[in-house]
């Protein structure tokens, strides 16, 4: 049985950028180089020794950067799975090239950067620094602001009342007396404090106990999305460098 993903805290003297990385694989030389590079950019590192462990971890956690050792069995399939959907499909993926067939077609499959052996921590840190803007933008997109306002929902032609719990540029969590099945389509509308009415359509991506559900925004007029993005952006605190 694979061991669970482990957290490796950054050097306490350096602070934290707030960026979270996951390295997938059990090659100790790869782990050491990546670990040192993550510390250089003041990030936080997590380790999953196998694809199965990584899949479980990514199903419940949002990470900013994924370092995928392509010599790990099933690595290419994991890359394709990540890009096919889920909260990590926009994460920046660094493919550590290997000698096996898993390394073929990594960029076409969705990797953002290719790391070539032997890995040198300074070079890896430089690549991480280049990718910081991409990771920060994605992190902001998933930043959730606590907000309790009424939400008008329409699902299957029925008007349903609900209350928002939190809001991001990409979606919201709601509480409702009605059960919302995963995958169901909804239309929504709510008043954003000091910013006007937000309307659009989306999809239920998860549901939990006590009437909680998550809604991903799918369709929204450009001017409405700009309004929402600006509002969330004003409340987003960038991680300390």
User: pLDDT tens, 220-234?
Assistant: 998 898 899 888 878
Is there a single domain that holds both residue 123 and residue 149?
A: no
Percentage of residues in the chain having pLDDT higher than 90: 58
Does the residue 241 lie in any domain?
A: no
Tokens of residue 235, six digits: 């409340």
Tell me, yes or no, whether 160 and 134 share the same domain. Answer: no
Does residue 224 belong to any structural domain of this protein? yes
22 and 126 part of one domain: yes
Both 24 and 115 in a single domain? yes
Alpha helices in the chain (DSSP H): 28-40, 51-60, 75-84, 106-109, 121-141, 222-235
- Cβ-contact 153, 161 below 8 angstroms: yes
Last residue of a domain, one of 110, 141, 172: 141
Residue 104 covered by a domain: yes
Structure confidence at residue 4 as a pLDDT band (50, 70, 90): low
> Domains in the chain: how many in total?
2
Same structural domain, 57 and 166:
no
pLDDT of residue 2: 44
User: What CA–CA distance (Å, rounded) separates 225 from 222?
Assistant: 5
In-domain check, residue 129: yes
Question: Using one digit for the tens of pLDDT, what is the confidence trace for 147-165?
Answer: 999 999 999 889 998 999 9
**Structural domain containing residue 173:** 145-235
Q: Are residues 74 and 176 in the same domain?
A: no
Q: What is the pLDDT of residue 135?
A: 87
Lowest mean pLDDT among 57-71, 97-111, 195-209: 97-111
3-state helix, strand, coil in the chain (%, to 5): 30, 30, 35
Domain containing 192 — which CATH number? 2.40.10.220
Q: Could you read off the pLDDT of 165-209 as tens digits, one per residue? A: 999 888 999 999 888 888 999 999 999 998 899 999 999 988 887
Residues 220 and 116 grouped into a single domain: no
Q: What is the CATH number of the domain that holds 105?
A: 3.40.50.2300
Question: pLDDT value at position 101?
Answer: 64
- Whether 32 and 120 share a structural domain: yes
Based on the fold, state whether residues 172 and 86 are members of the same structural domain.
no
Give domain status of residue 240, yes or no. Answer: no
Q: Which of 102, 117, 141 is the last residue in one of the domains?
A: 141
Residue 60 within a domain: yes
Domain boundary among 141, 161, 187: 141
Regarding whether 159 and 137 lie in a shared domain, the answer is: no
- Considering the domain architecture, whether residues 109 and 151 belong to the same structural domain is answered as no
Q: What is the pTM of this model?
A: 0.62
- How much is the average pLDDT of 120-129? 95
Residue 76's pLDDT band (cuts 50, 70, 90): very high
Task: Note whether 121 and 172 are same-domain residues.
Answer: no
């Amino acid at each position: 049985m694979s061991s669970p993903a482990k957290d490796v805290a950054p050097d306490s003297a350096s602070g934290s950028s707030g960026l979270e990385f996951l390295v997938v694989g059990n090659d100790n030389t790869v782990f050491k180089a990546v670990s040192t590079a993550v510390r250089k950019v003041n990030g936080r590192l997590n380790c999953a020794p196998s694809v199965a462990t990584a899949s479980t971890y990514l199903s419940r956690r949002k990470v900013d950067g994924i370092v995928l050792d392509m010599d790990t069995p099933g690595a290419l399939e994991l890359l394709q799975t990540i890009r096919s959907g889920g909260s990590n499909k926009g994460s920046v993926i660094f493919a550590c090239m290997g000698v096996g067939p898993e390394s073929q077609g990594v960029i076409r499959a969705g990797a953002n950067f290719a790391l070539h052996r032997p890995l040198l921590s300074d070079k890896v840190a430089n690549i991480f620094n280049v990718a910081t803007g991409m990771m920060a933008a994605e992190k902001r997109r998933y930043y959730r602001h606590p907000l309790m306002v009424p939400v008008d929902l329409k699902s299957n032609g029925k008007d349903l009342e609900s209350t928002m719990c939190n809001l991001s540029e990409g979606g919201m969590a709601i509480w409702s007396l009605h059960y919302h099945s995963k995958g169901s389509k909804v239309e929504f509308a709510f008043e954003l404090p000091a910013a006007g009415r937000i309307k659009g359509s989306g999809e239920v991506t998860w549901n939990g106990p006590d009437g909680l559900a998550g809604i991903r925004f799918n369709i929204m007029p450009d001017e409405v999305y700009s309004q929402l993005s600006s509002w969330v952006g004003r409340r987003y605190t960038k991680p300390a460098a």
